[in-house]
Amino acid sequence: MDNLFSIVFQHLPNPTLIIASDRTITYANTAAKSVFDSIFIGKDLALTLRHPEVLNAVDRSIADGTSEEGEFSIPGPLSLVFELHTVPIPDTQSPGSGLSFVLLSLLDKTKIARAEEMRADFVANASHELRSPLTAILGFIETLQGPASNDATARVRFLGIMDREAERMNRLIDDLLRLSRVEIDEHVRPRGQVDVIACIRNVFELLEPRAKAKNMSLTLIADHHPGPINGDSDQLIQVFRNLIENAVHYGDEGTEVRVVVEERIDRPNIPENGIAVHVQDKGRGIAKQHIPRLTERFYRVDGARTRHNSSASISTGLGLAIVKHIVNRHRGRLKIESEVNSGSTFSVFLPTE
Protein backbone atom coordinates (compact mmCIF):
# COMPACT_ATOMS: atom_id res chain seq x y z
CA MET A 1 0.00 0.00 0.00
CA ASP A 2 1.17 3.46 -0.80
CA ASN A 3 2.74 5.02 2.31
CA LEU A 4 0.50 8.09 2.67
CA PHE A 5 -2.60 6.05 1.95
CA SER A 6 -1.50 3.48 4.51
CA ILE A 7 -1.08 6.15 7.20
CA VAL A 8 -4.49 7.68 6.43
CA PHE A 9 -6.09 4.23 6.36
CA GLN A 10 -4.58 3.30 9.73
CA HIS A 11 -5.91 6.48 11.32
CA LEU A 12 -9.48 6.26 10.06
CA PRO A 13 -11.63 6.35 13.19
CA ASN A 14 -14.00 3.62 12.00
CA PRO A 15 -12.99 -0.04 11.93
CA THR A 16 -12.15 -0.63 8.27
CA LEU A 17 -11.01 -3.75 6.38
CA ILE A 18 -9.91 -4.27 2.81
CA ILE A 19 -11.11 -7.59 1.45
CA ALA A 20 -9.72 -9.21 -1.71
CA SER A 21 -12.02 -10.72 -4.35
CA ASP A 22 -11.46 -14.21 -2.88
CA ARG A 23 -12.83 -12.81 0.46
CA THR A 24 -9.47 -12.88 2.21
CA ILE A 25 -8.55 -9.94 4.43
CA THR A 26 -5.79 -7.86 2.88
CA TYR A 27 -5.58 -4.98 5.37
CA ALA A 28 -7.17 -3.99 8.66
CA ASN A 29 -6.77 -0.60 10.30
CA THR A 30 -6.00 0.15 13.95
CA ALA A 31 -9.66 0.80 14.85
CA ALA A 32 -10.59 -2.65 13.46
CA LYS A 33 -7.82 -4.28 15.47
CA SER A 34 -9.12 -2.69 18.65
CA VAL A 35 -12.60 -4.11 18.10
CA PHE A 36 -11.76 -7.72 17.21
CA ASP A 37 -9.64 -9.96 19.41
CA SER A 38 -7.73 -11.28 16.42
CA ILE A 39 -7.77 -10.42 12.74
CA PHE A 40 -6.50 -13.08 10.35
CA ILE A 41 -4.78 -11.23 7.54
CA GLY A 42 -4.53 -13.30 4.35
CA LYS A 43 -7.33 -15.60 5.57
CA ASP A 44 -11.02 -15.79 4.69
CA LEU A 45 -13.03 -13.02 6.38
CA ALA A 46 -15.24 -15.71 8.01
CA LEU A 47 -12.37 -16.64 10.33
CA THR A 48 -12.36 -13.14 11.82
CA LEU A 49 -16.01 -12.12 11.54
CA ARG A 50 -18.39 -15.02 11.24
CA HIS A 51 -21.53 -12.95 11.15
CA PRO A 52 -23.81 -13.97 8.21
CA GLU A 53 -25.00 -10.38 7.69
CA VAL A 54 -21.41 -9.26 7.06
CA LEU A 55 -20.39 -12.25 4.95
CA ASN A 56 -23.50 -11.99 2.76
CA ALA A 57 -22.95 -8.27 2.19
CA VAL A 58 -19.31 -8.82 1.22
CA ASP A 59 -20.23 -11.78 -1.01
CA ARG A 60 -22.84 -9.68 -2.81
CA SER A 61 -20.37 -6.83 -3.27
CA ILE A 62 -17.81 -9.23 -4.75
CA ALA A 63 -20.32 -11.01 -7.03
CA ASP A 64 -22.36 -8.02 -8.24
CA GLY A 65 -20.01 -5.08 -7.71
CA THR A 66 -22.66 -3.37 -5.54
CA SER A 67 -22.37 -1.31 -2.36
CA GLU A 68 -24.14 -2.91 0.54
CA GLU A 69 -25.37 -1.74 3.94
CA GLY A 70 -26.55 -3.57 7.01
CA GLU A 71 -26.45 -3.88 10.74
CA PHE A 72 -25.17 -6.61 13.03
CA SER A 73 -24.24 -7.12 16.64
CA ILE A 74 -21.39 -8.90 18.33
CA PRO A 75 -22.69 -10.66 21.44
CA GLY A 76 -20.74 -10.56 24.69
CA PRO A 77 -20.97 -9.11 28.18
CA LEU A 78 -21.25 -5.69 26.51
CA SER A 79 -22.91 -6.48 23.22
CA LEU A 80 -21.74 -4.20 20.42
CA VAL A 81 -23.92 -2.97 17.55
CA PHE A 82 -22.40 -2.01 14.19
CA GLU A 83 -23.64 -0.57 10.96
CA LEU A 84 -21.71 -1.99 8.00
CA HIS A 85 -20.95 -0.49 4.59
CA THR A 86 -19.23 -2.20 1.70
CA VAL A 87 -17.78 -0.42 -1.31
CA PRO A 88 -16.47 -2.41 -4.30
CA ILE A 89 -13.18 -1.05 -5.60
CA PRO A 90 -12.39 -1.85 -9.27
CA ASP A 91 -8.87 -2.78 -10.31
CA THR A 92 -7.38 0.53 -11.50
CA GLN A 93 -4.11 -1.13 -12.60
CA SER A 94 -5.79 -3.13 -15.33
CA PRO A 95 -9.20 -1.56 -16.17
CA GLY A 96 -11.82 -3.96 -17.39
CA SER A 97 -10.33 -6.88 -15.52
CA GLY A 98 -13.03 -6.62 -12.83
CA LEU A 99 -13.12 -6.15 -9.11
CA SER A 100 -9.99 -5.97 -7.11
CA PHE A 101 -11.13 -5.19 -3.54
CA VAL A 102 -14.08 -4.58 -1.30
CA LEU A 103 -13.78 -1.90 1.36
CA LEU A 104 -15.66 -2.96 4.46
CA SER A 105 -16.18 -0.18 6.99
CA LEU A 106 -18.03 -0.43 10.27
CA LEU A 107 -19.75 2.24 12.33
CA ASP A 108 -20.06 1.59 16.06
CA LYS A 109 -23.71 2.24 16.88
CA THR A 110 -23.63 0.73 20.36
CA LYS A 111 -24.11 4.05 22.18
CA ILE A 112 -26.94 5.15 19.88
CA ALA A 113 -28.63 1.74 20.20
CA ARG A 114 -28.39 1.96 24.00
CA ALA A 115 -29.76 5.50 24.07
CA GLU A 116 -32.67 4.37 21.89
CA GLU A 117 -33.31 1.45 24.19
CA MET A 118 -33.26 3.74 27.23
CA ARG A 119 -35.63 6.18 25.56
CA ALA A 120 -38.06 3.39 24.71
CA ASP A 121 -37.83 2.04 28.30
CA PHE A 122 -38.44 5.52 29.63
CA VAL A 123 -41.55 6.05 27.52
CA ALA A 124 -42.86 2.62 28.56
CA ASN A 125 -42.19 3.33 32.26
CA ALA A 126 -43.68 6.81 32.16
CA SER A 127 -46.82 5.55 30.42
CA HIS A 128 -47.16 2.73 32.92
CA GLU A 129 -46.73 5.10 35.88
CA LEU A 130 -49.41 7.42 34.50
CA ARG A 131 -51.71 4.58 33.58
CA SER A 132 -52.00 3.15 37.13
CA PRO A 133 -53.63 6.24 38.73
CA LEU A 134 -55.68 6.85 35.59
CA THR A 135 -57.03 3.29 35.65
CA ALA A 136 -57.95 3.73 39.31
CA ILE A 137 -59.78 7.00 38.61
CA LEU A 138 -61.67 5.50 35.66
CA GLY A 139 -62.64 2.50 37.81
CA PHE A 140 -64.06 4.73 40.54
CA ILE A 141 -65.97 6.86 38.01
CA GLU A 142 -67.55 3.71 36.65
CA THR A 143 -68.50 2.55 40.16
CA LEU A 144 -69.94 5.95 41.05
CA GLN A 145 -71.98 5.99 37.86
CA GLY A 146 -73.23 2.45 38.44
CA PRO A 147 -73.43 0.37 41.61
CA ALA A 148 -72.54 3.19 44.02
CA SER A 149 -74.58 5.94 42.41
CA ASN A 150 -76.85 6.32 45.45
CA ASP A 151 -74.31 5.54 48.14
CA ALA A 152 -73.30 8.84 49.75
CA THR A 153 -70.66 7.26 52.05
CA ALA A 154 -68.97 5.45 49.18
CA ARG A 155 -69.05 8.63 47.12
CA VAL A 156 -67.12 10.60 49.75
CA ARG A 157 -64.59 7.82 50.16
CA PHE A 158 -64.08 7.26 46.42
CA LEU A 159 -63.79 10.98 45.69
CA GLY A 160 -61.04 11.14 48.32
CA ILE A 161 -59.13 8.33 46.60
CA MET A 162 -59.70 9.86 43.17
CA ASP A 163 -58.38 13.16 44.44
CA ARG A 164 -55.22 11.45 45.69
CA GLU A 165 -54.71 9.55 42.44
CA ALA A 166 -55.21 12.71 40.37
CA GLU A 167 -52.71 14.49 42.63
CA ARG A 168 -50.28 11.66 42.00
CA MET A 169 -50.63 12.08 38.23
CA ASN A 170 -50.11 15.79 38.64
CA ARG A 171 -46.94 15.25 40.59
CA LEU A 172 -45.66 12.70 38.09
CA ILE A 173 -46.14 15.13 35.23
CA ASP A 174 -44.46 17.94 37.19
CA ASP A 175 -41.50 15.71 37.98
CA LEU A 176 -41.24 14.45 34.39
CA LEU A 177 -41.19 18.01 33.06
CA ARG A 178 -38.66 19.03 35.71
CA LEU A 179 -36.43 16.07 34.84
CA SER A 180 -36.56 16.83 31.13
CA ARG A 181 -35.70 20.52 31.72
CA VAL A 182 -32.79 19.53 33.96
CA GLU A 183 -31.51 17.05 31.37
CA ILE A 184 -31.69 19.62 28.58
CA ASP A 185 -29.29 22.02 30.28
CA GLU A 186 -27.18 19.47 32.14
CA HIS A 187 -24.15 20.39 30.01
CA VAL A 188 -24.53 24.13 30.39
CA ARG A 189 -22.66 25.44 33.41
CA PRO A 190 -24.83 27.40 35.82
CA ARG A 191 -23.90 31.08 36.08
CA GLY A 192 -25.58 32.43 39.18
CA GLN A 193 -24.21 32.94 42.69
CA VAL A 194 -25.98 30.88 45.31
CA ASP A 195 -26.16 31.17 49.07
CA VAL A 196 -26.60 27.52 50.10
CA ILE A 197 -27.76 28.35 53.65
CA ALA A 198 -30.49 30.65 52.27
CA CYS A 199 -31.65 27.85 49.95
CA ILE A 200 -31.92 25.40 52.84
CA ARG A 201 -33.83 27.93 55.01
CA ASN A 202 -36.18 28.46 52.11
CA VAL A 203 -36.86 24.70 51.90
CA PHE A 204 -37.31 24.46 55.70
CA GLU A 205 -40.04 27.07 55.55
CA LEU A 206 -41.79 25.13 52.84
CA LEU A 207 -41.60 21.78 54.61
CA GLU A 208 -42.12 22.88 58.21
CA PRO A 209 -45.89 22.11 58.14
CA ARG A 210 -45.27 18.61 56.81
CA ALA A 211 -42.60 17.95 59.46
CA LYS A 212 -44.91 19.26 62.21
CA ALA A 213 -47.67 16.93 61.05
CA LYS A 214 -45.30 14.04 61.86
CA ASN A 215 -44.09 15.73 65.03
CA MET A 216 -40.61 16.05 63.49
CA SER A 217 -38.12 18.89 63.76
CA LEU A 218 -35.90 20.34 61.05
CA THR A 219 -32.47 21.45 62.28
CA LEU A 220 -29.78 23.30 60.35
CA ILE A 221 -26.23 22.91 61.64
CA ALA A 222 -23.47 25.08 60.18
CA ASP A 223 -20.41 26.29 62.08
CA HIS A 224 -20.35 29.42 59.92
CA HIS A 225 -22.13 30.91 56.90
CA PRO A 226 -20.17 29.79 53.79
CA GLY A 227 -19.69 32.21 50.91
CA PRO A 228 -21.73 31.91 47.71
CA ILE A 229 -21.05 29.20 45.15
CA ASN A 230 -21.54 29.15 41.39
CA GLY A 231 -24.88 27.61 40.67
CA ASP A 232 -28.50 27.84 39.78
CA SER A 233 -30.43 28.70 42.93
CA ASP A 234 -33.82 27.34 41.75
CA GLN A 235 -32.18 24.03 40.93
CA LEU A 236 -30.25 23.83 44.20
CA ILE A 237 -33.45 24.58 46.12
CA GLN A 238 -34.97 21.67 44.19
CA VAL A 239 -32.09 19.39 45.27
CA PHE A 240 -32.43 20.29 48.96
CA ARG A 241 -36.20 20.14 48.73
CA ASN A 242 -36.20 16.62 47.29
CA LEU A 243 -33.69 15.36 49.87
CA ILE A 244 -35.30 17.02 52.90
CA GLU A 245 -38.78 16.05 51.71
CA ASN A 246 -37.62 12.41 51.50
CA ALA A 247 -36.03 12.65 54.96
CA VAL A 248 -39.35 13.88 56.38
CA HIS A 249 -41.31 11.31 54.42
CA TYR A 250 -39.15 8.28 55.24
CA GLY A 251 -38.03 9.45 58.70
CA ASP A 252 -39.86 8.12 61.79
CA GLU A 253 -42.50 10.18 63.57
CA GLY A 254 -41.13 12.40 66.31
CA THR A 255 -37.52 12.28 65.06
CA GLU A 256 -35.23 15.07 63.92
CA VAL A 257 -34.07 15.76 60.36
CA ARG A 258 -30.64 17.34 60.47
CA VAL A 259 -29.04 19.28 57.67
CA VAL A 260 -25.34 19.76 58.28
CA VAL A 261 -23.42 22.24 56.14
CA GLU A 262 -19.61 22.08 55.99
CA GLU A 263 -17.19 24.18 54.03
CA ARG A 264 -13.76 23.09 52.68
CA ILE A 265 -13.46 19.37 52.63
CA ASP A 266 -10.11 17.68 52.63
CA ARG A 267 -10.96 14.16 51.61
CA PRO A 268 -9.88 12.16 48.56
CA ASN A 269 -11.95 12.58 45.39
CA ILE A 270 -13.80 15.57 46.78
CA PRO A 271 -13.10 19.03 45.41
CA GLU A 272 -10.98 20.83 47.98
CA ASN A 273 -12.84 24.09 47.85
CA GLY A 274 -16.38 23.01 48.20
CA ILE A 275 -19.47 22.84 50.30
CA ALA A 276 -20.92 19.62 51.65
CA VAL A 277 -24.55 19.39 52.69
CA HIS A 278 -25.56 16.27 54.63
CA VAL A 279 -29.26 15.53 55.02
CA GLN A 280 -29.66 13.04 57.87
CA ASP A 281 -32.82 11.27 58.97
CA LYS A 282 -33.68 8.65 61.55
CA GLY A 283 -36.01 6.18 59.95
CA ARG A 284 -36.42 2.96 58.07
CA GLY A 285 -33.14 3.33 56.15
CA ILE A 286 -32.32 1.61 52.86
CA ALA A 287 -30.84 -1.86 52.31
CA LYS A 288 -27.38 -1.86 50.69
CA GLN A 289 -28.40 -3.53 47.44
CA HIS A 290 -30.81 -0.70 46.59
CA ILE A 291 -28.41 2.20 47.13
CA PRO A 292 -26.66 2.17 43.71
CA ARG A 293 -30.04 2.15 41.94
CA LEU A 294 -31.82 4.91 43.86
CA THR A 295 -31.03 7.62 41.30
CA GLU A 296 -32.53 5.62 38.40
CA ARG A 297 -35.78 7.05 37.13
CA PHE A 298 -38.85 5.50 38.74
CA TYR A 299 -36.80 3.35 41.11
CA ARG A 300 -38.50 2.80 44.46
CA VAL A 301 -37.25 0.47 47.16
CA ASP A 302 -40.64 -1.16 47.67
CA GLY A 303 -42.42 0.35 44.70
CA ALA A 304 -45.58 -1.74 44.70
CA ARG A 305 -46.25 -1.30 48.40
CA THR A 306 -45.51 2.41 48.50
CA ARG A 307 -47.86 3.00 45.62
CA HIS A 308 -50.84 1.60 47.45
CA ASN A 309 -50.42 3.06 50.90
CA SER A 310 -51.69 6.41 51.99
CA SER A 311 -48.46 8.20 51.01
CA ALA A 312 -48.82 7.05 47.42
CA SER A 313 -49.51 10.45 46.00
CA ILE A 314 -46.15 11.87 46.93
CA SER A 315 -43.94 9.05 45.65
CA THR A 316 -42.85 9.18 42.01
CA GLY A 317 -39.40 7.60 42.08
CA LEU A 318 -38.09 10.61 40.11
CA GLY A 319 -36.90 12.85 42.96
CA LEU A 320 -33.40 11.42 43.25
CA ALA A 321 -32.98 11.20 39.46
CA ILE A 322 -33.63 14.96 39.37
CA VAL A 323 -31.14 15.47 42.23
CA LYS A 324 -28.45 13.49 40.40
CA HIS A 325 -28.80 15.48 37.16
CA ILE A 326 -28.73 18.85 38.95
CA VAL A 327 -25.71 17.84 41.02
CA ASN A 328 -23.94 16.66 37.83
CA ARG A 329 -24.68 20.01 36.20
CA HIS A 330 -22.98 21.69 39.16
CA ARG A 331 -20.02 19.31 38.79
CA GLY A 332 -20.77 18.00 42.23
CA ARG A 333 -21.30 14.58 43.71
CA LEU A 334 -24.07 12.76 45.56
CA LYS A 335 -23.24 10.19 48.22
CA ILE A 336 -25.79 7.96 49.95
CA GLU A 337 -25.12 6.18 53.24
CA SER A 338 -27.79 4.26 55.05
CA GLU A 339 -28.46 1.64 57.66
CA VAL A 340 -31.68 -0.33 57.78
CA ASN A 341 -33.93 0.62 60.73
CA SER A 342 -31.53 3.35 61.72
CA GLY A 343 -31.58 6.08 59.08
CA SER A 344 -29.94 7.59 56.02
CA THR A 345 -27.56 10.39 55.13
CA PHE A 346 -27.71 11.92 51.66
CA SER A 347 -24.64 14.11 51.08
CA VAL A 348 -24.24 16.60 48.26
CA PHE A 349 -20.77 17.98 47.52
CA LEU A 350 -20.66 21.15 45.49
CA PRO A 351 -17.45 22.76 44.30
CA THR A 352 -17.20 26.49 45.02
CA GLU A 353 -15.76 27.30 41.61
Residue 345 Cβ, how far from ligand ADP at the closest point, in Å?
A: 9
Cβ burial, residue 200 (10 Å; 0-12/13-18/19+): buried
Helices (H) and strands (E) in the chain, counts: 10, 12
Backbone angles phi, psi at 81, to 5 degrees: -115, 130
> Measured between alpha carbons, how far is 28 from 212 in angstroms, rounded to an integer?
70
> Measured between alpha carbons, how far is 83 from 147 in angstroms, rounded to an integer?
58
Task: Single out the residue of 60, 210, 284, 331 in contact with ligand ADP (rule: CB under 6 A).
Answer: 284
Total residues contacting ligand ADP by CB under 6 A comes to: 21
Contacts of 302 (CB under 8 A, 6+ apart): none
Question: Binding to ligand ADP (CB under 6 A): which residues in 295-314?
Answer: 299-301, 306
Between 211 and 247, CB nearer to ligand ADP: 247
Task: Single out the residue of 29, 86, 235, 316 in contact with ligand ADP (rule: CB under 6 A).
Answer: 316
Between 222 and 301, CB nearer to ligand ADP: 301
Give the amino acid at 273: N
Residue 281 Cβ, how far from ligand ADP at the closest point, in Å?
A: 5
Between 45 and 294, CB nearer to ligand ADP: 294
Between 6 and 311, CB nearer to ligand ADP: 311
Question: Binding to ligand ADP (CB under 6 A): which residues in 129-158?
Answer: none
Between 133 and 317, CB nearer to ligand ADP: 317
Between 56 and 311, CB nearer to ligand ADP: 311
Bridge partner residues of 69 (DSSP): 85
β 256-263/217-222 pair status: parallel
Long-range contacts of 231-234 (CB under 8 A, 24+ apart): 231/190, 231/192, 231/193, 231/194, 231/330, 231/350, 232/190, 232/191, 232/192, 232/194, 232/326, 232/329, 232/330, 233/192, 233/194, 233/195, 233/199
Task: Single out the residue of 344, 348, 349, 351 in contact with ligand ADP (rule: CB under 6 A).
Answer: 344
Q: Which range of residues in 66-74, 78-86, 152-160, 277-285 is near ligand ADP by CB under 6 A? A: 277-285
Question: Binding to ligand ADP (CB under 6 A): which residues in 236-255?
Answer: 242, 246-247, 250
Binding site for ligand ADP (CB under 6 A): 242, 246-247, 250, 281, 283-284, 286, 294, 299-301, 306, 315-321, 344
